Structure 1
Amino acid sequence: MKKQIFLLILAFLCFSRSAKAQKFGYVDLEYITSKMPEYQTAQAEIEKLTSRWIKEISDKNLEIEKLEKAYRAEEVLLTEDMKQQRLKAISEKEKEAKDMQNKVFGINGELIKKKQDIIKPILDEISKALEKVVRQKRLDFVFDKSSDGLTMVYTNPVHDYTDYVMEELGISPEQIKDKEKEKAESESPNNTDQKSKNKKSN
């Protein structure tokens, strides 16, 4: 749906009379990064870390398999208490492996954070170079041809009509900001502690 809206807007811009005065351009970010030694070094570092974490998780899973295999082989010889202890140990190891997997590869996990730390300075460097070229060539829109759907990587703020469309729909940007502020305040730690105290006092 988003892609269809994007293509519709792009077609409108390309064929409207006002678009004649606008300058479009594109870059190939995939090609650019492939020619940057620092980007290749960063990618190699990320791959090395990923391989290390995968091995650590794999080792934990192998340990769990060994414990389970040993338990099945000795189950008939174990007392009920010994069985419960073995099963508890296996369960704890499974939880440990799962927690590590989520910590490393989950949403906002260590891998994502590491990528941001390593790649962000390089992307910032590309962004500065792009802004310089945009000013020199007086471009209004720049797309990345290496991404699906021609992702827009730069747009002149003068062509941002979001607030006008929202106004036509009866949506006030100020109201949205107020709601976001209220939500942030309601979710703040101090406010949460106060609510807890109020509940206890009641």
Structure 2
Amino acid sequence: MKRAWIVFLAMMLIAGFAQAELKIGYIDSEKILLDYEESKDALSKLEAQNRRYQEEFQEMQVRYQNLLEEYEKKKFVATDLWKKQKEEEAEKLAMDIQNYQMTKFGPQGEIYKKEAELMAPVLEKINNILKKIGAEGGYDYIIDTAQRSIVFANPKHDLTSVVLYELSKATEIK
């Protein structure tokens, strides 16, 4: 009887471990970024800088448009020298506009650099809080619904070393 009880207890423990559930939480990073005060401040500074660049860009476009209109109005009565100067001026201004657009708004532009500079401390704080909540709360995973990604994973579920080991074994066999 005692032996049956021990076997029953062992089977219950094994079944309990087999049914252990993962603890998963989720966040909405967009809401966090919109509601977190430091994030609001950073985004406000970024928007102000973006507005200044947009205004400068629009002023350049207006100057270019005015130059073209002036050229069109006077091209039939102007000297060849004047026309050549205006054409060169328009060409230079068009290149300046394109260059301005790339340096301010392009993929490596100042707006993206400024965003990275302003948001880096905010994102670092958020990531540190996520790690703390994940570890202290016993979470296995925390998922970001806005980005559709995992923002915290318990290291015990990291299979990287296992995959690397299996790959090295597979390479040795060949």
Regarding TM over 0.5, the answer is yes
Match of 2:154 among 108, 131, 156: 156
Q: What residue is the counterpart of 2:76 in the other structure?
A: 76
Q: Which residue of 2 aligns with 1:102?
A: 102
Name the CA shift for 1:169/1:37 in 2 (closer, same or farther; >3 Å): same
Deviation of 1:146 after TM superposition, in Å, equals 2.9
Alpha-carbon distance in 2 for matches of 1:72, 1:19: 80
Q: Deviations over 1:97-145 (max 9, x none)?
A: 1101100110121001101111111111111111111110122211012
In structure 2, what is the Cα distance between the partners aligned to 1:113 and 1:67? 32
* Letter paired with 2:158: D
Aligned partners of 2:135 and 2:154 also within 8 Å = no
- How far is the alpha carbon of 1:35 from its aligned partner? 2.8
Cα separation, partners in 2 of 1:72 and 1:138, compared to 1, 3 Å? same
The 5-angstrom pairing of residues 123-162 of structure 1 reads 123-147=123-147, 150-162=148-160
3-state SS in 1 of match to 2:139: coil
**1:87-98 matches, cutoff 5 A:** 87-98=87-98
State the AA in 2 paired with 1:160: D
What is the TM-score with the length of structure 1 in the denominator?
A: 0.67
Within a 5 Å distance, the mapping from 1:1-202 to structure 2 comes to 20-147=20-147, 150-162=148-160, 164-165=162-163
1:52 deviates by: 1.1
Larger Rg: 2
Residues of 1 paired with 2:146 and 2:166: CA distance? 35
Preserved CA contact (<8 Å) 2:141 2:152? yes
- Cα drift, residue 166 of structure 1: 6.3
Matched residue type, 1:78: A
* Gaps in structure 2 of 5+ consecutive residues: 1-16
3-state SS of 1:30 partner: helix
5+ long unaligned stretches in structure 1? 1-16, 173-202
Q: Percent identity?
A: 25
Q: Deviations over 1:144-184 (max 9, x none)?
A: 1233xx321112344333465567678x9xxxxxxxxxxxx
TM-score with structure 2 setting the length: 0.77
SS at match of 2:151: strand
Q: Secondary structure, in 3 states, of the residue corresponding to 1:78?
A: coil
Change (3 A) 1:73 1:163: farther
RMSD across aligned C-alpha pairs, in angstroms?
A: 2.4
